[in-house]
Chain A
Amino acid sequence: MQVYPLIMNRLVMPAASRFTDLKIWDEYKAMMKSERLSLEQLRQMQLTKLRAIVRHAYENVPFYRQRFESIGLHPEDIKSLEDIERIPPTTKDDIMANFPEGITAEGMDRSRWKYVASSGTTRKIMGIHDFRKSTLNWAAGIRAHRLAGNHRMGMKWMEIPPHMCTTICGINDGPKGEKLSTKKLVELVKGGDFGGAGRHVYEGLYSMRHDLYKRVTLPSFGPEGTNIPESDIVSYLDSIRSYQPHLLEGLPLYLYTFAKYILDKGVPAPRVGVIKPFGGSLTPYMKQIIATAFGCEVYDTYGCSELGFMACDCPKHEGVHLFMDLYHVEVRHGDRAAAPGELGKFYVTDLENVAMPWIRYEIGDVGRYFEDDHGCGRRGIRLEVEGRVQDTLVNSQGKFFTSDEVFDFFHARKEIDNFQLTEKSSGRYELLCVPVEGEEIDREGIARDFREFFDPEANIKAYAVKTIKAEDGGKFRFIKAKGHDKL
């Protein structure tokens, strides 16, 4: 290992744990231990934590107390993990209608609580993390880096997040922390305020976290949409090439665009240790193209800003292993629990957020779970995340098609570079296609193949366009579906 990462991992982080109340390192160590537990042990741990958080929510959080009382449910009734089904799901609307005071625990010390929200104007959810939850999440981030791609704190890291319009609209409006100051630290310690000193170290490290992590951020594709000029792609690749990050993270479409370019033009790929998506997950086809183009491992992680890091890949790449010590995830198909491998909606319970409990939170993602032991050594259940609920299509026979499946179907066609499929009124679909250079859109062929793939009755019309525009927050929606509420 290089010197800097060595110092970070062997000295700075353990020292912070030892001398301040910033226990990231201790938590990380404990989490790594839990990765070696059996599925049974993990489930036992989940049950203990679930019962505790349900009891806590019932006793301290007005929203949950009213919910439970209105259906006559008592925390004691939750005796097994399956009993969680007796609790009604919590929607984003439920959260925001009660945020903050109705959905957070009463009577706690709020001085170190933090608001969390995804940057960008579109996502309609906010959350609160208390100090312990922030610490755990920081540790979970280190854990995800370590397990999925062997990235350690201090190794070079480059990211290309989606948010556009960072200056003009002022999207990057997060609060800025205080900088670490030795003078202030000495004063606090001299004055005997060790708690204050700890807090100061935390704030300082937090505000410096990008530098500590050797993390460099490139601007997003911006308002041009999917198809940016070739010269821009070249300059992204140059930036990556000259920084040589161990970890490259980016919006899936960005990574996919670079990969296609490298393969099409036969240009040498920048040297990168590992690639991961940021702000969305990769489809199987994307993963394959990116891995081939860059000649490196591609790992997946799963999480969101309101909850945190929830799961990450292993070298077998058969879904992301859930951090079962931190979260409980159910997959439900209609009004019943999905079987392993069956498609459904995710409901997440955060087992550690005491300040703002999330119990059976409808996160808005669809996918499948698997619990078999595939031999990598980690026994947490694996999730296959296949897209957002509102991007899931349903055909006239009631069969669901996830956005991953539809994405890979269209991208398997040689003439389609990028696309966006919009479900208009039932049975009618509009397809915008950016054709591959030198190719023509085969309207008839697309219509015929789509009917065969999706629905014999589907009426699809294709139009050639130059680019697919991003949504407000800079992310892309390639499938805009309507019938998903049946899921």
Chain B
Amino acid sequence: MDIQKIRGDFPIFERRINGKPIVYFDSAATTQKPRQVIDTLSNYYANHCANIHRGVHTLSQESSELYEEARRTVARFINADEREIVFVRNTTEAINLVSTCLKGEGQILSTVTEHHSNLLPWGRSRDVDYVDIDAHGRIDVEDLKGKLQKPTLLVAVTHVSNVLGLINPVEAVIAEARKNGALTLVDAAQSAPHMEIDVKAMGCDFLVFSGHKMLAPSGIGVLYVREELYERMEPYLMGGSTIKEAHLGSYVPEEPPTCYEAGTPNIEGAIALASAIDYLSDIGMENVLAHDKALMALALERMKAIDNVELYGSLDPTDRLSVITFNVKGMGCHGVAKVLNLRENIMIRSGFHCAQPLHDRLGIGPTARMSFYIYNTPEEIELAAELLGKIAEFI
């Protein structure tokens, strides 16, 4: 994988602030976009723009075909069938859709390490219990076993934590849930961008992720539904494209997945997501993973060596993916983020990263977070570590 060539695809890295390039370490929040994805968007507007499924004219047909081809691309990306792919706005909407539409009794099991998006939707109208984490920060499967003793409708877990970057044992979680007759939803917002996902091998019932965290535009996300489960789901939003026939007072519903995509969807977003997936597939997800892991190993090694920096979660690089969370003693996380930004344009996150319960569970305040992706280089990590060392060891 030729990282300089990849960087060349991202116009943002040509930008200079105070004469210096940007070091973007906030890909866990959203990624930068390659020229290929930007071009797909402008090409769509320039050549194919039309509403889908509603016209016999050339543009509408082209647009519909591009949109459905995008669905197939997404399906292949996670080894699903195209009928199992619902386009939504983002991970958050996908989870809300499942929590609103899924019929059935029993508690929901979430975990303390979830993003607020995989906590709050469940609490709205159901009983929720929270699985704890183990000493390394991963989901505690023993605790899960205990909590599954109560009748459970669904277990909702994150594949990779957006705070600790730890890869959770989702296969074990799914196996335990299955044994107890519970369904599973995997939040792949932080994993789908970095590693190959095979929903069939994983065995989950629902899987969700966002396009904007994997080179695509904001406003397009994916909900995978294991096909048989559509029968256990109520309609979601109603309106255009959710029905086959409408009469005043009655209707015949459309087939899934279309019936879950009410109104005009984010057509260009879906098409651009497919283009992002093509971009990643050209690189090869195994190469993406290897690159991200190598960066993580380097970052862990450099950060561990700095006095006064406290790292959270397991320090074994094989446990982790792409996210590293820390604090500098005697200095608030926002201060750290400010200094990195103002001195070297190193853009990192600071705060609770939408996972306040996890911070509470770890007994820590807000944290600073660096996250990496395909366009980041070892040199950038060296630069950040050097500067961080200066700040942390200064006082």
Q: Which residue of B lies closest to A98 (CB)?
A: B343
User: What is the minimal beta-carbon distance from B392 to any residue of chain A, in angstroms?
Assistant: 10
Residue A168 lies at the interface, judged by CB distance under 8 Å to chain B: yes
Among B335, B356, B366, B390, the residue within 8 A (CB) of A115 is B335
- Check if A99 sits within 8 Å of B342, measured CB to CB: yes
Tell me which residues across on chain B come within 8 A of A128, comparing CB atoms. Answer: 395
Contact B335 A126 (CB under 8 A): yes
**Residues of the A chain whose Cβ atoms lie less than 8 Å from the Cβ of B356:** 167-168, 170
**B365 engages A110 (CB within 8 Å):** no
- With A and B bound together, what is the CA distance between A161 and B8 in angstroms? 46
Inter-chain CA distance A199–B366, complex, in Å, is: 27
* CB < 8 Å A-B pair total: 74
For residue B265, CB closer than 8 A to chain A, the reply is no
A402-431 to B contact mask, C-beta < 8 Å, 1/0: 000000000000000000000000000000
Q: Is the CB of B338 within 8 A of A126?
A: yes
CB < 8 Å: which of B330, B339, B352, B359 contacts A99?
B339
A120-136, CB < 8 A from B: 120-121, 124, 126, 128
Residues of A within 8 A of B330 (CB): 114-115, 175
Q: Which of A128, A168, A170, A174 has the most CB of B within 10 A?
A: A170
User: A115 touching B395 by the CB < 8 A rule?
Assistant: yes
B1-39: CB near A (< 8 Å → 1, else 0) gives 000000000000000001000000000000000000000
- Scoring B329, B334, B339, B365 by chain A CB atoms within 10 A of each residue's CB, the highest score goes to B334
Q: How far, in Å, is B351 (CB) from chain A's closest CB?
A: 5
The answer to whether residues A100 and B333 also contact, given A168-B352, A169-B366 and a CB cut-off of 8 A, is no
A173 contacts B332, CB within 8 Å? yes
User: Which residues, 282 to 333 on B, are CB-close (under 8 Å) to A?
Assistant: 329-333
Give the CA-CA distance A167 to B365 in the complex, in Å.
9
Contact of A170 among B333, B391, B395 (CB under 8 A): B333
Complex CA gap A173/B338 in Å reads 13
Checking B332, B338, B359 against A175 with a beta-carbon cut-off of 8 angstroms, the contacting residue is B332
Task: Give the residue among A168, A173, A175 with the most B Cβ atoms within 10 A.
Answer: A173
Chain B nearest CB: distance from A156 CB in Å? 29
Given contacts A124-B342, A169-B352, A170-B352, contact A93 B18 (CB under 8 A): yes
Chain A residues numbered 260-287 whose CB sits less than 8 Å from any CB in chain B: none
A97 at the interface (CB under 8 A from B): yes
From B331, B335, B343, B351, A169 is in contact (CB under 8 Å) with B351
Interface status of A457 (Cβ within 8 A of chain B) = no
Beta-carbon contacts of A86-109 to B below 8 Å, as 1s and 0s? 000000010011111100100000
The contact string, 1 if C-beta is below 8 Å from chain A, for chain B 356-395, is 1001000001100000000000000000000000110011
Instruction: Indicate whether A113 reaches chain B with its CB closer than 8 angstroms.
Output: yes
A171 to B391, CA, bound (A): 20
| Chain B residue with the shortest CB-CB distance to A95 | B342
B76 CB → nearest A CB, Å: 39
**Given known contacts A121-B334, A169-B351, A170-B352, A110 and B342 CB-to-CB distance under 8 angstroms:** no
Hey, which chain A residues are within 8 Å of B391, CB to CB?
100
Q: A115-B395, A170-B352, A170-B366 in contact; A97/B18 too (CB < 8 A)?
A: yes
Which residues from chain A contact B329 at a C-beta distance below 8 Å? 175
Q: Nearest chain B CB to A305's CB is how many angstroms away?
A: 11
Q: At the interface, yes or no: A117 with Cβ under 8 Å from chain B?
A: yes
- Asked whether A96 lies within 8 Å of B351 as measured between CB atoms, the reply is no
When the two chains form their complex, are residues B394 and A100 in contact, meaning their CB atoms are under 8 A apart? yes
Most buried by A among B331, B351, B359, B395: B395
Q: Which residues of A contact B342 (CB under 8 A)?
A: 93, 96-97, 99, 124
Interfacial chain B residues near A167, Cβ < 8 Å? 356
Question: B331 contacts which of A97, A171, A175 (Cβ < 8 Å)?
Answer: A175
Q: Which residues of A contact B343 (CB under 8 A)?
A: 96-99
Across the interface, A100 reaches (CB within 8 A) one of B334, B366, B390, namely: B390
Q: How many B residues, CB 8 Å from partner? A: 23
Contact with A173, one of B334, B339, B390 (Cβ below 8 angstroms): B334
CB-CB nearest in chain B for A96: B342
**Which residues A155-200 have CB closer than 8 A to chain B?**
167-171, 173-175
Q: Is there an interface contact between A101 and B394, defined as CB atoms closer than 8 Å?
A: yes
User: How distant is the Cα of A128 from the Cα of B339 in the complex, in angstroms?
Assistant: 13
Residues of A close to B365: CB separation below 8 A: 170, 173
Residues of A within 8 A of B333 (CB): 170, 173
User: Within 8 Å CB of B331, what residues of A?
Assistant: 115, 175
Q: With CB as the reference atom, state the residue of chain A lying closest to B356.
A: A168
B18 smallest CB distance to A (angstroms)? 7
Q: Considering the complex, give the chain A residue whose CB is closest to the CB of B353.
A: A170
Closest to A355 in B: B395
B338, A170: Cβ atoms closer than 8 Å: no
Given contacts A96-B342, A126-B338, contact A173 B366 (CB under 8 A): yes
Asked if A124 and B352 make an inter-chain contact with CB atoms under 8 angstroms apart, the answer reads no
Taken together as a complex, chains A and B put the C-alpha atoms of A98 and B329 apart, in Å, by: 20
A173 to B328, CA, bound (A): 11
- For B354, give the chain A residue with the smallest CB separation: A168
Interface string of B89-128 (1 = CB under 8 A from A): 0000000000000000000000000000000000000000
Contacts of B390 in A (CB 8 A): 100-101
Alpha-carbon distance A96/B394, docked complex (angstroms) = 15
A121 to B348, CA, bound (A): 13
Residue from the set A93, A128, A169 with the largest chain B CB neighbour count within 10 Å: A169
Tell me which residues across on chain B come within 8 A of A126, comparing CB atoms. 335, 338-339
Closest CB in chain B relative to A127 CB, distance in Å: 10
Q: Are A114 and B338 in contact (CB under 8 A)?
A: no
Could you say which residues of chain B place their CB within 8 Å of the CB of A168? 352, 356
Indicate if the CB atoms of A117 and B335 lie closer than 8 Å: yes
Among residues of B, the one whose C-beta sits closest to the C-beta of A110 is B395
B367's nearest neighbour on chain A, judged by CB, is A170
Q: A110 contacts B335, CB within 8 Å?
A: no
Do B394 and A174 touch (CB < 8 A)? no
- Nearest chain A CB to B114 CB, angstrom units: 16
CB distance from B336 to the nearest CB of A (A): 9
Task: Tell me if A117 and B394 are in contact (CB < 8 A).
Answer: no
Asked whether, in the complex, the Cβ of B394 is within 8 Å of the Cβ of A110, the reply is yes
- Nearest-neighbour CB distance to chain A for B57, whole angstroms, equals 41
Q: Which residues of A contact B335 (CB under 8 A)?
A: 115, 117, 126, 173
- The CA-CA distance from A97 to B339 in the complex, in Å, is 8
A167 nearest CB neighbor, chain B only: B356
Q: For the complex, what is the distance from the CA of A397 to the CA of B89, rounded to whole Å?
A: 50
Q: Smallest CB–CB gap between A146 and chain B, Å?
A: 30
Closest A residue to B391 by beta carbon equals A100
Q: Which residues of A contact B366 (CB under 8 A)?
A: 169-170, 173
B389 to chain A, nearest CB (A): 10
Chain B residue at minimum C-beta to C-beta distance from A174:
B332
Query: Interface readout for A14-43 with B: 1 if CB under 8 Å, 0 if not?
Result: 000000000000000000000000000000
Complex Cα–Cα for A115 and B339 (A): 12
* In the bound complex, CA of A104 to CA of B391 (Å): 12
Query: In the complex, what residues of B have CB within 8 A of residue A114's CB?
Result: 330, 395
B-side interface residues toward A, CB under 8 Å? Answer: 18, 329-335, 338-339, 342-343, 350-352, 356, 359, 365-366, 390-391, 394-395
CB<8 Å pairs between A and B, sample of 28: A97-B342, A97-B343, A98-B343, A99-B339, A100-B391, A100-B394, A101-B394, A104-B394, A110-B394, A111-B395, A113-B395, A115-B332, A115-B335, A117-B334, A119-B332, A120-B334, A124-B338, A126-B335, A126-B339, A168-B356, A169-B352, A170-B351, A170-B366, A173-B333, A173-B334, A173-B335, A173-B350, A173-B366
Besides A99-B343, A115-B395, 8 other CB < 8 A contacts? A93-B342, A100-B394, A117-B334, A117-B338, A124-B342, A170-B356, A175-B329, A175-B332
Top 3 A-B residue pairs of the complex, sorted by shortest distance between their CB atoms = A170-B366, A173-B332, A96-B342
